[in-house]
Amino acid sequence: MWIGIIFTLIILALGIWLDFKIGDKMMRKQAPVFSANTSSLREWQLITEGNVFYDVLFEDILHAKRSIKISFFIIENDSVSQKFFNLLQEKAMAGIQVYLLMDWIGCFKVKRKYIKQLKQSGVLVKKANPPKLPFFFYRLNQRNHRKVTVIDDQITYFGGFNIGKEYLGNDHKLGHWRDYHLRMQDDTCTDAINQTFNYDWDHTQQPKPKSQSEHRIACTLTITEAGQLEENVIEWINQASNSVTIASPYFIPTKRIFSSLMTALRRGVDLTILVPKKADHPFVKGAALPFFKKLIQQGASIYYYRNGFYHTKVLLIDETWCDIGTANFDQRSFLYNQEINLVTEQDDLLASIKHSLAMDKADSSLLTEQSLKKIPLPTKISSVFSRMIRPFL
């Protein structure tokens, strides 16, 4: 009996492993190679607080004249999501084309009655990336994490915020929520984000790159999935000559990215990492500890954000350019998730991002080797277990 059970478990584990390996290989071949360049963003707004985000987003939705395309990774069942759904229904009933793309897992809690109401009012609703054969287990872990909005083919959004009251800082465990989200009006970026949404909606049309190469390229929009982001991040870190700053809710790098960070430290690059002291997942904080210990020993400065939960996603290189968007500094974003990021050296936007990062650092405390020894025992235990599940955190 026990031999049969063990044999079955071995076959199951082998099947899952093959599913991931072959699925990863196939998805990397199919992933769109896509980016868009622009000389500068004509109009932009960096939003860091949830109340401002919802005020501005809902106002733009309210004044939409032709079309609304929205994709979110997480939509909760609460007062914020209800107001969001009501707005979409009102616009659809007024004759506006409304598309809502919800990640299959991230929006799993959205009640069927709400989806039914949306559809009855004329909102076109889809779930992104439902698990299916072939490569069931791989597809189960490939999430649409882009969180984009396109209104009237003129106004676009992407970044860290989702839909729910926790992003207003109303979660009593997490407290204040700090995040970065971009609102933009730029023809090139709008066209690229629109194409990306259409691709995510039906997968029938590959996005096409668009650039204004006759001008200085100050911003590049990068659309990634299936391992593309890992290659980008390694290239960016390897280009650093003076400093690298990473701001992320999670720090779970791949082996290759961690190796690039250690190499950068050895060649004299200053490495600063900002992560939240509070965790929204039982294993992510423990998963980062082994990396932190080695980085601190090599001279890195690691800060715990103390003013609530930190959900920012920024990679700043040499204080002269940065990557900002939807991707976390973890293996799920690097290897599986569909993400969208903006690489920019545009002076005014860069100055705003650096100013916000300086404020975040001021609200943080330095993590030292001594303080690592005082980490609570449950976190240390989770650190051991998390080694086995790093890619899925």
Cβ neighbours of 235 (radius 10 Å): 10
Say whether 130 sits in a helix, a strand or coil: coil
- Specify the pLDDT at position 312: 97
Percentage of the chain surpassing pLDDT 70? 93
* Assigned token pair, 261: 């960070």
Q: How far, in Å, CA of 48 to CA of 176, rounded?
A: 11
Distance CA(130)–CA(143), nearest Å, equals 9
Nearest partner of 61 among 146, 199, 157, judged by Cα: 157
Question: What does the pLDDT average to over 124-145?
Answer: 89
* pLDDT tens-digit map of 304-339: 999 999 999 999 999 999 999 999 999 999 999 999
Q: What is the CA radius of gyration of the chain?
A: 21
Mean pLDDT: which of 6-10, 30-34, 196-200 is highest?
196-200
Q: Given this model, what pLDDT does residue 137 score?
A: 84
Counting runs of H as helices and runs of E as strands, what totals does the chain give? 13, 20
What pTM, to 2 d.p., does this model score? 0.92
Whether the bond between 134 and the residue before it is cis, its omega within 30 degrees of 0, is yes
CA distance 122 to 133: 30
Residue 267 sits at φ, ψ, to 5 deg, of -90, 10
- Residue partners of 75: CB distance under 8 A and separation at least 6: 81, 84, 102, 106, 107, 110, 162, 163, 164
Residue positions annotated with a catalytic role: 145, 147, 152, 311, 313, 318
Residue 282, pLDDT > 90, answer: no
For residues 65-86, give the mean pLDDT. 96
- Check residue 106 and report its DSSP letter: T
- Spatial CB neighbours of 355, under 8 Å, sequence gap ≥ 6: none
Span 198-227, average pLDDT: 75
Enumerate residues 6+ apart whose C-beta is below 8 A from 47: 53, 56, 159, 161, 179, 180, 181, 182, 183
Segment 188-211 mean pLDDT:
79
Question: Is residue 167 pLDDT above 60, yes or no?
Answer: yes
